[in-house]
């Protein structure tokens, strides 16, 4: 509601972004110049990411909600003055490319590719992960450095809740794991090494990076709200078990449907391969 006008505009912006991507692909297939189309789509996608980061960051600033709603009930203004917004936004953008690059490194070790394809995928994925891993690391350090003093103190163990100290340790773990992941990506990318073990190491490190970052981010969120009078551990929660049960039932059913679809695709591929032979 507070940024409602911008929030609803995401639908139109996303539609335009997809249209530009289709145009980008069509122009490339036709042998035409398409860089400006791709750049336009990239900028629009980055703006959507900025709005998403703005919304997530705004949830940690209850002190500005009343002023923003008084200024515009339609949500025509974006919040200002939060030093963590830009590094959070960069974390989102760089993090996606970083993990995507590590995923390519993992795929390069699969037996479904030829040797040349493996080297290409490993080289591309490793370089992308190494470069954007450094951006991801820099954005994370930037975001940590501009946190309020109360948040930094809580992560350092100066809080009534010892759980927040675990979040502080998770932050150091995240830092070490990102450095390790960048090294793995650089070895795979610049050395064009497509060994299966290297891909598994990259995938494992990527999972651990996300886990430690989630724990650290949870501590930052809770401590930020605590400094503004909102204790997330002192809230009355009444669980609607019927809704929880319905969600779990639908979730399991969805997994079963996905598994069935995967099996159908696998069987169809075998039939097509046999027919081609």
Q: What is the pLDDT of residues 187-220, one digit of tens each?
A: 999 988 888 899 899 999 999 999 999 999 999 9
Instruction: Give me the DSSP letters along the chain.
Output: -TTHHHHHHHHHHHHHHHHHHHHHHHHHHTT---HHHHHHHHHHHHHHHHHHHHHHHHTT-GGGHHHHHHH-TT--------TTHHHHHHHHHHHHHHHHHHHHHHHHTSTTS-HHHHHHHHHHHHHHHHHHHHHHHHHHHHHHHTS-HHHHHHHTT-SS-THHHHHHHHHHHHHHHHHHHHHHHHHHHHHT---HHHHHHHHHHHHHHHHHHHHHHHHHHHHHHHTTT--TTS------HHHHHHHHHHHHHHHHHHHHHHHHHHHHHHHHHHHH-
pLDDT of residue 272: 64
pLDDT of residue 173: 95
Q: Is the pTM of this model over 0.85?
A: no
pLDDT of residue 270: 67
pLDDT of residue 271: 63
Give the rounded distance of the alpha carbon of 35 from its chain centre: 25
- As given in the structure block, the two tokens for residue 274 are 């046999």
Residues of the chain scoring pLDDT < 70? 160, 270-277
pLDDT of residue 192: 83
pLDDT of residue 112: 81
């Amino acid at each position: 509601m507070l940024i409602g006008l911008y929030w609803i505009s995401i639908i139109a912006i996303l539609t335009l972004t997809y249209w530009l991507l289709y145009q980008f692909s069509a122009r490339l297939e036709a042998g035409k110049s398409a860089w400006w189309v791709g750049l336009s789509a990239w900028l629009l996608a980055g703006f959507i990411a900025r709005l998403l980061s703005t919304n997530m960051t705004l949830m940690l600033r209850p002190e500005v909600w009343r002023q923003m709603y008084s200024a515009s009930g339609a949500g025509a203004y974006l919040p200002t003055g939060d030093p963590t917004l830009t590094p959070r936004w960069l974390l989102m953008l760089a993090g996606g490319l970083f993990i995507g690059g590590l995923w390519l490194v993992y795929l390069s070790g699969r037996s479904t590719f030829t040797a040349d394809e493996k080297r290409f995928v490993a080289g591309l994925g490793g370089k992308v992960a190494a470069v954007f891993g450094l951006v991801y690391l820099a954005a994370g350090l930037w975001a940590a450095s501009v946190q309020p003093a109360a948040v930094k103190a809580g992560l350092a163990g100066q809080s009534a809740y010892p759980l927040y100290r675990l979040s502080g340790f998770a932050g150091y773990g995240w830092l070490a794991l990102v450095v390790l992941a960048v090294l793995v990506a650089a070895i795979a990318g610049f050395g064009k090494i497509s060994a299966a073990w290297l891909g598994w190491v990259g995938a494992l490190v990527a999972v651990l990076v996300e886990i430690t970052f989630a724990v650290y981010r949870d501590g930052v969120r809770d401590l930020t709200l605590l400094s503004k009078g909102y204790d997330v551990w002192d809230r009355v929660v009444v669980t609607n078990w019927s809704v929880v049960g319905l969600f779990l039932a639908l979730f399991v059913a969805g997994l079963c449907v996905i598994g069935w679809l995967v099996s159908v695709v696998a069987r169809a591929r075998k039939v097509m391969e046999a027919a081609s032979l």
